[in-house]
Structure formats: C-alpha cells, structure tokens
A and B are shown apart, each in its own frame.
Chain A
Amino acid sequence: MTARTAIRTCPLCEATCGLVLTLYGDRVLRTAGDERDVFSEGFMCPKGATLGELHHDPDWHRRPLIRHRGRLVEASWDEAFELAGRLVRTVVEQSGPAAMAAYFGNPISHNLGGLLYAPTYLKALGSPRLFTASSLDQRPKDLVNALLYGDRFTLAVPDLDRTDFLVVVGANPVESNGSLATAPGWPRRLRAIRERGGRLVVVDPVRTRTAELADEHIRPRVASDAALLASMVNVLFDEGLVRLGRLGEFVTGVESVGRALVDLTPERVADFTGVPARSVRDLTRRFAAAERACVYGRIGTTATEFGTLTSWLVDLLNILTGNLDRAGGAMFPLPACGSVNTRGRPRFGPPPRLGRFSSRVRGLPERFGELPTSCLAEEIDTPGDGRLRGLLLVSGNPVVSAPNSARTARALASLDALVAVDPYVNDSTRFAHVVLPPPGPLQRSHYDVHFSTWAVRNVANYSPAVLDLDPGQPQEWQIMCRLAAAFEGRGASEADIDRRHAESTARAAVSDAHSPVSGRTVEELMAAVAPRVGPERLLDLMIRSGPYGDGFGRRPGGLTLAVLEDRPHGVDLGPLRPRLPEVLRTTTGTVVLDPPLVVDDLPRLRAAVTSGPPGGLVLVGRRHVRSNNSWMGNVPSLMTGRPRSTLWLNPADAERLGVGTGDLVAVATRVSTVHAPAEVTERVPAGVVSLPHGWLHEPDGVQLVTARARPGVNSNRLADELVLDVPSGNAVLNGIPVRVTALPADEH
C-alpha cells in the first residue's frame, strides 16, 4: 500500500477551505491547505488540519444506539429506526403533531445530506415545532435580511478583497474564520486591505486578535453597538453625508429613518457607548468619504440585547453611503446551486413568514417557521395542553448551546421521545432514546449549498467522499430518508422518499417561469440526472438549473455536477457583481428602510441610553480558533495546551477582587453560578469579563473521553433564557450582567 492524496473542502466551518489529505490506507498522515483551491489558496486552520483525527475519533459512534433499561446500547439500524418511528408516532398519536419538535444544530448547514434532506422528515413529522441554533446566533440578521431584501438568507457580505475601508463590529474572524461572510483566510484578506492602502477599523470592547490587525481599534462599552451605529447614521443625516447613488431607485424610507434617529446623536449617546462623540463623527466622515467601504457585524452585534437594531444599522450604514451592492462595499453573492433570491420572479416575493403563530408558554412569535430556542425548555417543562413531548435533535447540543443549560438538561431528560441524529453521546444526546450516528467527515461528499450563498467570491466546489462507508452503514441522507419513512409509518422505502424529494425539486424548477428549465418536464430532468441518487442527484438538479448551469442543454458549456467532479480545486465564478434590484424578493420590489418591526424597537434602545450604563461586571463570550461551538472538544490535538476555559478579567477588576491568574472565581447570574479559573488580561476592558462558549460542564453520562478530561466551564449555564432581543427572539449571550467573587484556595 502506498500513500495517496485526496482533495476536499473542509466541512467544519463557514470558511470552506480546500484541504489536501495524505492518507495511508484509511489513516490520514498529514493534512495541508490546498494551494490550488480557487478560493482558499492554501489557507487552513487547526480544525481542518485535524479533520482526520475527528474522523477517527473512537467516541464517534458508527452504529446506532437505543435506550435499553436506562442505558444507551448498540443496536441494529433496523431496530433503531423502528424504535424512533414508534416513539415519535406515539407522541403524535397521543398529543398531536404540535407535541413534536425538531432542533437543528449549526453543523447541519455545513452538511450536504443533512441540509438537503431536512424537508423530508420535517414533512413526515407534520409540521413540528422547529427550533434551531440560529436563534442563539444570527436570527437578528435573518430578520433584517428578510425585511429589507425579502429573504432571510439574502445577505450582503463585505466585498473583502476589494474594499478600502472595512469596519468590523463585534466580530473576530481571525479566531472564528469568519461568519456570515464566507472567506477562507480572513487574516490574509484583512492584511491585504492594509497592504493596498485601505483601512481596517475594529469596533469591539475586547482586544481580539482581529483588533490587533487593525489600523484603529474602537472599544465601546459592551452591548452599546446599536447606540453607536445609530449615532453614526445620525451623523450621516446631520452632516449631509447621505449618498444613495444608484440605490436611490430601489430604496424607500430614507427620510423616515433620519427622523427616527434624529435624537441619537454621538453627543447624546457618548456616555452610554463610552466612545467620544468626536471619534464617532470623525469615523463616520471618513467612512462616508471612502470610495469602497463596508461595515460588517457579527456575533457581538447579533446575540445581544439590541441585536435586530444593530443588524439593521449595519445595513443602513452601507446603504446610506451608497456602498450596498457596489464593488468594495457590501454585495450579494450569486451561488451556483441557486437560492431563494435566484428563483421565482426577480425583485418581487411574498411577505416574510413572521408571527403566524406563537410559542405556547411565553407567546413569543415565530420567525421563518421557528420559535426561539430560548423557549425550548419551557415548552417542554411547563405543564398544560400542547406541551412538547418529543424532540428530533439533528446535530444539535442545546444543553451546551442554549441559555440556562441546567433547565434545558432537565427538560430533555423528561421527554417521551428524543431521537438524535448525532455521532456523539454528548450533554444533550445522553438523554436520547435513539441515537443515529452519521458517517464520519471523510465518508461524506461535500458541497457548500448554504455557505456558497454567503461567499465573498462566487465559487463552486464539490468534494467526493474520501473513504468508503463501513458495511451496512448508511449515509446521512439515507438516515434522513429512513427517518422520514419511519415517521410516516406507511412502509415507504428510502428510495421512494429520495425519489419523491428529487421530483419535487425538479418540479419546483420546471414550474418556475423564470428558471432556465421553465416548461420542461420532471421526467426529462430526472432522466438527465440519472443514475445519480441522493444529494448528488439534488445537487446536479440545482446546479444545472441554477444561475451558471447548463440549463439541461439550454446553455451549453454551463455548469453541471460532472464539471465540478473534474475540478477538485473548485471553479471560480468571479468576484461578486451588482445584483440590485433583481436580488430582491420583497412585496414592493424595493428596499424599505424603516420596517415597523425594527423601528418600533427604538424606544427600548432610547430607554437604555437614558438610564445610562449599568454598573457591575458584564460577561461576553469569546472564540478560539481551535474550538467550534459545542463540538470538536473531543479531538485531542485541539484540546492540548493551556486551559482555554478561563474567565478573562481586566487587571483593575482582578486587583479589586483580589484574584490573580489561575485563582478560582465564582461567576453568578440569576440563573446559575459557575466556577472558573481567572486569567488576568488587558484584552478585556475594566468592567468586562469573558468566558468562551461551548464547553462541557456536566459530564455525567457523556461519552467523550477527551472532552471529559478537559471539561471546562459552560458559559450557557449563566445565560438567561428570559432575556431576548425582542424583535427577533434571539438569545442574549453577550453582555450578561454577572457577579464575580474570589473563591478561597483549597486546603489540604
């Protein structure tokens, strides 16, 4: 046997880096960034470098588990699907479909099979209550995208490689590899801005590694971004700097926005934000004067008390300076596999799905068919009609990811049916009745259906699986189809479900009057993609009927999956191009800048500004390049070294509390108290403490040997499920008021 190499796109995060794996048999000897990848050009982070280790994790289950006499034991796939179907159908029969919920964790959006096949089992469940990690993360941005542009995924991403003035707010892409803007190699791209004479401004209370790359680092008070950005917009109006340019044709509500923010001057909000008014005016003037400028905001702007307002203000700054939809500003990608904003009638669409129903306990409105994950536990643990009794958990770990971990854990433990599609027995799946493990990352094919819609360059890249499945092991899409069949309970086969799903994809394409395959027949398309099955069949349908596709013969030379299969380093489809107004899917065909759902939240911000900055310490999260939300803590190479689950504390606060680095402190909120080792650092300003998220805390029953050896502190034990960004229902995971006290040293 000799060593061989395999090329594939890393499926772990949004950056979509090309990897070159050197394998001997099925073992990965070494991984390198693919220098020839059209997008990542050799960039790779530690997680990609250890993809092989993840794949071979001995705690990654290869066979399903079912609960037997209180313990999870291995079972056959048939037994597992049978039990899953029986448990779920019992819940639905006894309490109705509304008693069944699904929770999607973030990895599903990085997973070709998982993402494309979600509709099959959701349909089979008969409209379950849906919860996802999005409402712990970017739901405010989703909401603003839907209100301004007509679809939650119609996101204007920073045109990173051409901008001359980038303002990064509440984002740390040097550690996170970037989010809501797919760009492998952020550090290199950020440095390139400065190398071509541009300017990088980072707005973040914390001195992050991204801030260290900046020309300017502005450190506002935690959770004051909405006020800060509102005052920047105010300056645009006040100083006559609004320049819509060609956007004037498609944008309405400009004057109304000016009036709505007229009182939020930099001088008025300076005490609240901690940023001097003249700095704000100066920054705004320079931003407005720049040729190619963009504001980009991330988790620090969304998982906060005023997430929706902040997300809206980010877009307003780009729009009002004419930077939306122009090179070097904030632009809309055009993905090869298509998206909502490439299908149907250009420019016009139905109203977004908002508030058609509400949660049972707190009456929180749905957003895009989802309820806030912050109310998942109460929907389970609050008695009464309509109580949730069953949950399908797909690559999700809400005990670690959702606020108030302890309550979430108790709630999951009480369910009548908990079916998990997950490789691990983790904090959440330890309560499952059935665990269905997908194959390892090297056994799956990959195409970034979702993240190619948010990429800063239009690219298409398909990777086949590197390793074969074990005998009898199903692909993830097969697990999904079999689950759908089990939930239906009508004896459909996996192939039936798959074919129906492909036909409905084809039907949607041929019945779209604006599609290149409009008027063709389903049979014709299905025959053309034969003998492909599974996600490859769907992907071929999507690509060929997509913006660059061959249109099934109508556009010779256009993209097909076969073309991508021949190009393992990807196909470059060029820099982002202007897409307004066709990208819109709004009812008016315009961008309405002052949606009531957002503007009506301004009084809440105004009240916060008026009452002034609260005293005491506030907790923010933080990201590390070796971590990935609630998972990957079981990869030894990512867990070696100094403890990372420490409470960052400014020297002044440390002095006042009498603690030094390494001392144990107690951190308390309404919800809970955790103990963490202190790490004294000037990276956080006085008054701010920081804990990373995603760490384990309750290892009882968790079958993760490495993660248990490095347990860490789960910051979501402290987060309060009752505190939300009101318009979006997103959890507030940054800016949590906490009490910190020193703990006496252990005596022996």
Chain B
Amino acid sequence: MTHVITQSCCDDAACTAVCPVDCIQPAPGTPGFAAAEMLYIDPATCIDCGCCVPECPVDAIRPDLDLPPSLHHFAELNAAYFEGRRPGPVPPRSVLPPSLALDRRLRIAVVGAGPAGLYAALDLLETGGSGAAVDVYDRLPTPGGLIRYGVAPDHPSTKLAAEAFAAHAGRPHLRFRFGVEVGSDLTPAELGRAYDAVVYAVGAAGARTIGIPGEDLPGSLAAAEFVAWYNGHPDAGAREIDLSGPRAVVIGNGNVALDVARLLVSDPALLAGTDMAQHAVEALSRSGIREVLVVGRRGPLQAAFTTAELTALERLPGVDVVAEREGLDLTPAEERTLAADPILRARYAALRRLATGSPGGPARPRIRLRFLARPERILGSTAVTGVRLRRQVKRDVDGAVTFRPAGAAQTVGAGLVLTSVGYLTVPLPGLPYDGDRGVVRNADGRIVDEDGRPVPGAYVVGWAKRGPNGVIGTNKHCASATVQHLRSDASAGRLAPPVEPPQWLDALLAERCRRLTDWAGWTRLDRHERAAGQAVARPRVKVTSLPDMWRITGREG
C-alpha cells in the first residue's frame, strides 16, 4: 500500500510539508525540486497515512488501491523516480508564528490575481500576520489568471487550485480590487505613492513568434490565442477560427502544444461536459480536423512536454497518438542522459510505444508527434495552406547533443497552424523591462533599473519575474522568494511609507474606475456561471463578454 501522485500535480509541494517520513520528492530545498516535472511518492517509505491527500489543492494524490485505470501508470512512474535512491534523514520542520515586527502595518498592493499574485498575497499574510495588509488588483473580475484562462478545460482537477485560493479570500487584512487596470486606470507611480510595496504579478500575456515568413497569415495564430479563445477569455472574444481541416499543425511541443492538439481532436461530446467556452464547444463540434501534427525542432529528450502529459495522451479515448519513428534515435550522450533519469526513461518508453503501437484505423482522429523538424515557412497566399519543414540532424559535440538542419524540405498541408514557442510579459509603462528575457527587469524578484539598482518597494513574481515556466504551484515558491526579499527590505528600513493616505487612492479609483468591484462581485459572477452550468450538466458556463461580466458582478460596463 502506498499513495501515488498523479497527472494534475501542481508542484506546490504543500504535500511535502505534512509527510511524516519525507517520502514525497523532490521536496523544496532539495536539488531536484526546481526542475521537477511533478512530485513523486516513494512506495518503499510511504506509510499510507493519507495526510498529504487533503493538502493537495488539485486532488492529485490517490491511494494505489483506488487508482482509476486512466491513472494506473502513475504508480510505476512514482516508483521509477526512486530507483537507485536511498531515503535520507527526515529533515526537521518548524512552524513559526507570523513575524513582521514593524512600528506600522505594511500596506502592500499585488497587481494581478493569478496564481503568482495570490500566492504572494497569502505568503505576505501568513508570514506577516497582522503586520501586513494586502490589496490585490486585477483588471478582470475573475481571479485565478491562467487557472481560469490557461488550464485546459478537460483538466478539471487542476482547476481545483482556484478553490484552494477561494478558501482564503475572507482572510483578515486581505482585499480585492477587481476592474482596475494598472497601466491605464492607475500608474505604477501612483500605486507606489499609496503603498509601502507593490508586487507585480502581471504574467506573460504576449506570445513569442518564431520569426518565419507567413506567421501573420489568416489561419496562423499563437497557441496562446487559441487557448484564450477556447477558455473564454474576454479579450479573445468569440472570433471565427477556421477548423475546416483536415489537418492542423502545432509548432512547438510543450504541454500547451499537447493541450491544443488534444482538444482539437477530442470527442466534442466530452468537451461539452467541461467549462470550455460555449462558442469553442460549438466550433469544435463542427471541426473537420482529423489530424494534428505536433512539430518539435529538437529530439524526443529535449521536448518540453512532461512525462505525465505525454502518458496521459496515450490514454486519450478514441484518438490515435503516433510518434514518428524517424526522430526517436538517440546519440550516445542522450543514451547516458536517459540512463541517469528514470522519468525521462519513462517518457522515452512512452514515445517508443507510440511509435510501434497499431493505430485504431483511418477513421479515428490522430495526433502525430514529429521531432527534428524545423519550420521554415508558413505557406499560403490569402490564408494558411501548409507549413514547410526541414529535417534536422543531431550529433554529440564535447559530450552534448547539438542540432543542425540537413536534407530536403518537405511541405505539410494544413488549414490551421498554431505556434506554441513561448510567452512574453507585455511591457508595462513605468516599469523596467528586460527585452532579452521578456520579463520585468528584476534580480530574484526585486525590480531593478537598467543599472541593476533596486527600485524601492517594487517587486515581481511569477512569469513576469522568471519567464513562462513551471506549473501552478511553482509560483508558490517563486512568490515566497520574492516576499522574503520584501520582508527583509521592510525589516532593514528600505521601504518608504506611503506618501498618500488610503483615502487618496480611494478617491482616485472612484473618479477613474467605474467598474471597481471586489470578491463579492466575483462571487456573483461565479454563482451565475455555476447555476448556468448546472442547468446543462456542465461545471459552469463561462461569461465571455466584458459588458456581461461587469453587469453580473453588479458594476456598469
């Protein structure tokens, strides 16, 4: 008997803090934590107490006896992680009372109510106790950021993270100001005048481009836009996307690429039971797409998708998933890497299975995974008709694998091309920006100017700090690191008290921001959506137009 961590693991590592035998690894503070795809339970040391289960915000931990067939393979994956590892000493733990002993209560603004912002707010309240008061700003009345607008609709467990945050919404000294856009309604300078510190959690709403011709053709769009569309982000609206098919190409092979590929060929009846935006459910149910080609420039070991997502894809009902065999050979350096990493081995084994399995038949929709293919041009004159790809070869140089284009180009016909090669933080006027990395310029969370000097009282967390990597819970540790800097700056007297009283900001908002609402406003919208969902056997029916959202929250459009 053991417990098993499954697909929706969010890496927040809340489970590790309660494990009495330290069997959940890699734990925060250990070398592998930062790079971990997910966490794993050691079946040899787990005592099956189940204490970790309620700590998990996304319901990822199950007793092995109760694993549904779709998650069975996670038992092996968990065990595989511990191959060759011996359990070390159980580290001492401590539970500390909040401590932020200053002569005044710090007033802190958090800009952005996504996971990074909410983790930062909660960390401030937990470590600061009554020494900190936090206002969380968001331009939308919907907290959760990418939990609502990024997580795939067929991953409902992952969305449970929102409820874990909601349980803290009523905390003392925590306030929400929804409907305020920092940058237009308020400037960073104005916020700085009203608060001791401002923590920016503005995410990475911009998509990186590949920089090849044809990217701006109709039918070519960033996967991020497609995600926003099917998740009902009000900025995406109910735009028309040509899904007439029969093939779509996804460039890039991270988890977002797998999400969009999967949703493009999923049974529409299944999607209709999720919280996918209604316009997307309708469009996908009329879709003519029969094949999605997922293209990666590099090899199978360098692919950005996680083992958990790949192995879940293997079990997608009614869909054939095929890995093209040509790209799967390994160099000696790669063989060595594989030998040292059981999780990578599990991933590679899955790809091997997908390369040799017998497809269910031509009638079934299909996802093809192609490696070592470099996109050179998106083809078409008035709209996308295909993609030109060039084969890459790899070889070891000084023990490391390198890639270069070789051989002939080939053309793949497609009516839809989705590029999924990364995100950028959109520069915010008045905040230093690091154009190379596409993030707010910062030193481990302290916002710094061109010369690397900290901007007093200005901090950043999440994707705007570290770039677009990690999963929901990664932001907890990211936020905690920034908050630690904020606390030490506060203790060292490096934070200037607000220049203006709270009333000054209230007056400014009253004048500029007619939509201002709070958690109660969101609760009204949330209830409205859930009630609408209940009527049609869906978790919720999302409201996707801003005027409707403001109306339901009780504010003017």
Q: Which residues of A contact B (CB under 8 A)?
A: 24, 29-33, 43-47, 49-50, 53, 187-188, 191, 209, 625-626, 636-642, 660-664, 706, 708-710, 745-746, 748
Could you say which residues of chain B place their CB within 8 Å of the CB of A662? 166-171
CB distance from B65 to the nearest CB of A (A): 8
How far is A44 from B23 in the complex, measured between Cα atoms in Å?
A: 14
CB distance from B156 to the nearest CB of A (A): 18
Decide: A661 near B89, CB < 8 A? Known: A49-B47, A641-B55, A642-B54. no
B93 within 8 A of A: yes
CB distance from B511 to the nearest CB of A (A): 22
Q: Mark B93-131, 1 if CB is under 8 A from A, else 0.
A: 111110000000100000000000000000000000000
Q: B170 and A660: CB pair below 8 A?
A: yes
Which candidate, B14-22, B239-247, B351-359, B390-398, is the interface stretch facing chain A? B14-22
Could you say which residues of chain A place their CB within 8 Å of the CB of B51? 46, 625-626, 641
Could you say which residues of chain B place their CB within 8 Å of the CB of A664? 170
* 21 CB < 8 A contacts A-B: A43-B47, A45-B47, A46-B51, A49-B90, A188-B1, A636-B94, A637-B90, A638-B20, A640-B17, A640-B93, A641-B18, A642-B14, A642-B55, A660-B167, A661-B163, A662-B171, A664-B170, A708-B97, A709-B95, A709-B97, A748-B173
- CB contacts under 8 Å to A, within B29-70, are 45, 47-51, 54-55, 65
Could you say which residues of chain A place their CB within 8 Å of the CB of B399? none
How far is A187 from B96 in the complex, measured between Cα atoms in Å?
A: 33
CB distance from B43 to the nearest CB of A (A): 13
CB distance from A720 to the nearest CB of B (A): 30
How far is A706 from B22 in the complex, measured between Cα atoms in Å?
A: 20
How far is A355 from B173 in the complex, measured between Cα atoms in Å?
A: 56
Q: B89 and A29: CB pair below 8 A?
A: yes
B183 within 8 A of A: no
Chain A residue at smallest Cβ distance from B175: A748
Could you say which residues of chain B place their CB within 8 Å of the CB of A636? 92-95
Could you say which residues of chain B place their CB within 8 Å of the CB of A47? 20
How far is A710 from B18 in the complex, measured between Cα atoms in Å?
A: 14
- B interface bracket (residues with beta carbon within 8 Å of A): 35 or more
Question: What 4 A-B pairs have minimum CB-CB distances, sorted nearest first?
Answer: A746-B172, A46-B20, A49-B20, A29-B89
Q: A30 and B167: CB pair below 8 A?
A: no
Q: A660 and B95: CB pair below 8 A?
A: no
Q: Among A24, A639, A745, which residue has its beta carbon within 8 angstroms of that of B170? A: A745
Q: B93 and A44: CB pair below 8 A?
A: no
Could you say which residues of chain A place their CB within 8 Å of the CB of B14? 641-642
CB distance from A29 to the nearest CB of B (A): 4
Q: A640 and B1: CB pair below 8 A?
A: no
Could you say which residues of chain A place their CB within 8 Å of the CB of B21? 30-32, 49
Could you say which residues of chain B place their CB within 8 Å of the CB of A708? 97
CB distance from B104 to the nearest CB of A (A): 13
B87 within 8 A of A: yes
How far is A24 from B14 in the complex, measured between Cα atoms in Å?
A: 28
Q: A640 and B18: CB pair below 8 A?
A: yes
Decide: A30 near B173, CB < 8 A? Known: A49-B21, A640-B17, A640-B18. no
CB distance from A256 to the nearest CB of B (A): 46
How far is A706 from B94 in the complex, measured between Cα atoms in Å?
A: 8
CB distance from B501 to the nearest CB of A (A): 14
Decide: A637 near B167, CB < 8 A? Known: A187-B48, A642-B55. no
How far is A24 from B47 in the complex, measured between Cα atoms in Å?
A: 22
SS class, residues of chain A in contact with chain B: mixed
Q: A710 and B49: CB pair below 8 A?
A: no
Q: Among A641, A745, A748, which residue has its beta carbon within 8 angstroms of that of B133? A: A748
SS class, residues of chain B in contact with chain A: loop
How far is A97 from B290 in the complex, measured between Cα atoms in Å?
A: 91
How far is A53 from B89 in the complex, measured between Cα atoms in Å?
A: 12
- CB contacts under 8 Å to A, within B168-192, are 168-173, 175
Could you say which residues of chain A place their CB within 8 Å of the CB of B169? 662
How far is A49 from B169 in the complex, measured between Cα atoms in Å?
A: 34
How far is A626 from B54 in the complex, measured between Cα atoms in Å?
A: 13
Could you say which residues of chain B place their CB within 8 Å of the CB of A706? 94-95
How far is A49 from B46 in the complex, measured between Cα atoms in Å?
A: 11
Q: B95 and A639: CB pair below 8 A?
A: yes
Could you say which residues of chain B place their CB within 8 Å of the CB of A45? 20, 47, 49
Could you say which residues of chain B place their CB within 8 Å of the CB of A709? 95-97
Chain B residue at smallest Cβ distance from A17: B47
How far is A641 from B172 in the complex, measured between Cα atoms in Å?
A: 19
How far is A188 from B22 in the complex, measured between Cα atoms in Å?
A: 22
Q: B50 and A32: CB pair below 8 A?
A: no
Q: A30 and B92: CB pair below 8 A?
A: no
Q: B93 and A661: CB pair below 8 A?
A: no
Could you say which residues of chain A place their CB within 8 Å of the CB of B18? 626, 637, 640-641
How far is A662 from B164 in the complex, measured between Cα atoms in Å?
A: 10
Could you say which residues of chain B place their CB within 8 Å of the CB of A187? 48
CB distance from B509 to the nearest CB of A (A): 16
How far is A710 from B133 in the complex, measured between Cα atoms in Å?
A: 20
Q: B94 and A625: CB pair below 8 A?
A: no
Q: Among A31, A49, A640, which residue has its beta carbon within 8 angstroms of that of B95? A: A640
Q: B49 and A46: CB pair below 8 A?
A: yes
Q: A661 and B166: CB pair below 8 A?
A: yes
How far is A45 from B21 in the complex, measured between Cα atoms in Å?
A: 10
- Most A-side CB within 10 Å, residue of B47, B50, B105, B133: B47
Could you say which residues of chain A place their CB within 8 Å of the CB of B89? 24, 29-30
Could you say which residues of chain A place their CB within 8 Å of the CB of B17? 640-641
Could you say which residues of chain A place their CB within 8 Å of the CB of B20? 45-47, 49-50, 626, 637-638
Could you say which residues of chain A place their CB within 8 Å of the CB of B163? 661
Q: Mark B244-282, 1 if CB is under 8 A from A, else 0.
A: 000000000000000000000000000000000000000
CB distance from B109 to the nearest CB of A (A): 13
How far is A53 from B92 in the complex, measured between Cα atoms in Å?
A: 8
Chain A residue at smallest Cβ distance from B44: A32
Other than A626-B18, A745-B170, give 17 A-B pairs with Cβ distance below 8 A. A29-B88, A30-B89, A50-B20, A625-B49, A625-B50, A626-B20, A636-B93, A637-B18, A637-B93, A638-B20, A639-B95, A640-B18, A640-B95, A706-B94, A708-B97, A709-B95, A710-B95
How far is A710 from B17 in the complex, measured between Cα atoms in Å?
A: 15
- Most A-side CB within 10 Å, residue of B45, B48, B65: B48
Could you say which residues of chain B place their CB within 8 Å of the CB of A188? 1
How far is A710 from B21 in the complex, measured between Cα atoms in Å?
A: 21
Chain A residue at smallest Cβ distance from B168: A662
Could you say which residues of chain A place their CB within 8 Å of the CB of B22? 30
Chain A residue at smallest Cβ distance from B15: A641
How far is A661 from B165 in the complex, measured between Cα atoms in Å?
A: 10
Chain A residue at smallest Cβ distance from B134: A748
CB distance from A663 to the nearest CB of B (A): 5
- Most B-side CB within 10 Å, residue of A636, A708, A710, A748: A748
Q: Among B45, B47, B172, which residue has its beta carbon within 8 angstroms of that of A46? A: B47
Could you say which residues of chain A place their CB within 8 Å of the CB of B172? 745-746, 748
CB distance from B62 to the nearest CB of A (A): 13
Could you say which residues of chain A place their CB within 8 Å of the CB of B55? 641-642
CB distance from A352 to the nearest CB of B (A): 39
Could you say which residues of chain B place their CB within 8 Å of the CB of A43? 47
CB distance from A37 to the nearest CB of B (A): 14
Could you say which residues of chain B place their CB within 8 Å of the CB of A625? 49-51
How far is A637 from B92 in the complex, measured between Cα atoms in Å?
A: 8
How far is A32 from B89 in the complex, measured between Cα atoms in Å?
A: 11
Q: B90 and A30: CB pair below 8 A?
A: yes
How far is A344 from B47 in the complex, measured between Cα atoms in Å?
A: 43
Q: A33 and B47: CB pair below 8 A?
A: yes
Could you say which residues of chain B place their CB within 8 Å of the CB of A746? 172-173
Could you say which residues of chain B place their CB within 8 Å of the CB of A24? 89
Could you say which residues of chain B place their CB within 8 Å of the CB of A626? 18, 20, 51
Chain A residue at smallest Cβ distance from B45: A32
- Most B-side CB within 10 Å, residue of A32, A626, A664, A745: A745
How far is A160 from B87 in the complex, measured between Cα atoms in Å?
A: 33
How far is A625 from B45 in the complex, measured between Cα atoms in Å?
A: 18
How far is A664 from B172 in the complex, measured between Cα atoms in Å?
A: 10
How far is A748 from B93 in the complex, measured between Cα atoms in Å?
A: 33
Q: B166 and A29: CB pair below 8 A?
A: no
